[in-house]
Amino acid sequence: MKIMTRTLAVLLALCCATPALAADHIDSPATAADQTADITDLYAWHTDGGSLVAIIGIAGAGTTTDTVSLDPEVLYGFHIDQDADGAADISVWVRYAQNGNGDWGMQVTNLPGADGVLVGAVGGMIGAEGARAWTGVADDPFFFDLEGYQATLGSGSLSFDGTRDFFAGLNITAISLEMDLAAATGGSDTIQVWATTSRL
């Protein structure tokens, strides 16, 4: 089983979350050849309402298509390490399938705060507030000044412009998970989260 992993550390405090690292966007040759298993970014934060929210971007660099890019042979995972031992204490699993009409469905297993397995149509919210999931096409949130990057490489002088976003108006397939914060953290004020894809 081939596993591609993107790691992100999230520090949880009482009133704010700190930024962390993310981003792939077809950086590696292996994921460029398998875009439905390519994790572009992972974003995670907690809300004042007691939820942990995670957004996993998949399907390579942004495109102009408004159609989801999913694969029933890929298992998508979101993992939480509550005690800093480098091992997942909670793993949330997401899978997709199509019916005879070609409509996509979503299954979410082990979502903290959910009452059992969540199942529903892609594009619609499944579950209840505080323990719910959504998959669909979303504007790529990753900011990157490609023109400035290339100019910097060519000249050796920083040439970035904060108004130029190569990914503006381009889309990714997004997996959004909202879960109970207390259940997700297990009482810890610092957790580590990461996402994986596994081809079955």
Tell me which amino acid residue 118 is: L
Judge whether 142 and 57 are in contact, CB under 8 Å: yes
> How far, CA to CA in Å, does 118 sit from each of 7, 95, 132, 198?
25, 11, 8, 20
| 127 Rama sector, left if φ>0, alpha if ψ -120 to 50, beta otherwise | left
Is-contact 161 148, C-beta < 8 A? yes
- Cβ atoms < 10 Å from Cβ of 121: 13
The one-digit pLDDT tens for each residue of the chain (200 residues) are 334 444 333 333 323 343 333 345 555 555 556 778 888 889 999 999 999 999 998 875 556 566 788 899 999 999 999 999 999 999 999 999 999 999 999 999 999 999 999 999 999 999 999 999 999 988 777 777 888 989 999 999 999 888 987 777 777 889 999 999 999 999 999 999 999 999 88
Please report, for the chain, the start and end positions of each structural domain, with discontinuous segments joined by +.
Answer: 3-199
Q: Which residues contact 113 (CB under 8 A, 6 or more apart)?
A: 130, 131, 179, 180, 183, 184
pTM for the model stands at: 0.78
Do the strands 51-63 and 74-81 form a parallel or antiparallel pair, or are they unpaired?
A: unpaired
Question: 166's torsion region: left (phi>0), alpha (psi -120 to 50) or beta?
Answer: alpha
